[in-house]
Amino acid sequence: MQAAPFTGLVEFNGPLRPRPQIGHVLFDFDGTLSLIREGWPEVMVPMFVEMLPQLPGETEAERRRLAYDDIMRLNGKQTIYQMIQLAERIKERGGSPRDPIWYKREYSRRLDERIRSRISGIQNGSLLRDSFLVYGARALLEQLAQRGVKLYLASGTDEAFVKHEVELLDLTRYFSPHIYGALDDYKSFSKKMVIERILRENRIPGDRLLSFGDGYVEIQNTKEVGGLAVAVASDEAHNGSGAMDEWKRKRLLGVGADVVIPDYRDGLALLKLIFGEAP
């Protein structure tokens, strides 16, 4: 898993062929770059457990495991899809679900209570904004910017929130105007659509695309078009530890990630390998 010239954990899913032709790089946001929403499953899982009707003989631990699996299986897609899944589970269990939009708004309200102090702290300067970036992320973005590649950001979080948090973290300058997030008309946005748009508008084949993400969607969609996919198995609660989140690691390798990293401590060395540059 670890090899020179890397200082930390880097796992390859087979041989990595350099791609010096790469000129477009797509990033997921939450968990891949931003940690403002770290701990979001600790908000969503209890909400699901609370809303799910209990089956006869079912323990809360069993209901929690079901909720967690449903939620993480859809991680990387727009939040509304997790809420659609919740509504379907409620109906399966004989309940009468609300509109998935209601569940999404309730989740957003609860998550806002968790992250409000982080956002205000970054705004007033009492918290360092870079402490809410995955370790080494800014240095990686600087390296990519210096190479002159085009950077894109696509998130399953609502676009208004994404753009606000991107600005808070001083990342707008790397990605603008290519910052995309979930829309109220959820069928009009997906990471797959963003990837197709990148290829279409720039008239490039998929092998010129590089993606970084901690959710299966961006990894899977990138591989489908022949792009290079780097999975960021970030341990969000222990930023900078250098340890991989094992659930993410297994899930992302399973959908074809070419490389798995815990953070960007080896970002420069990895880029040199990808672009075929001398170490």
- The model's confidence at residue 184, banded by pLDDT at 50, 70 and 90, is confident
User: What CATH number has the domain spanning 11-35+133-274?
Assistant: 3.40.50.1000
Model pTM score: 0.92
Q: pLDDT band for position 256 (50/70/90)?
A: very high
- pLDDT over 90 for what percent of the chain? 91
Q: CA nearest 45: which of 21, 26, 69?
A: 69
- pLDDT at position 76 is 84
CA distance 228 to 79: 25
pLDDT band per the 50, 70, 90 thresholds, residue 5 = confident
Kindly state the helix (H) or strand (E) to which residue 90 belongs, with its residue range: helix 79-92
Q: What is the DSSP letter of 235?
A: -
Task: Identify the CA nearest to 221 among candidates 190, 264, 251.
Answer: 190
- Structural domain boundaries in the chain: 11-35+133-274, 41-124
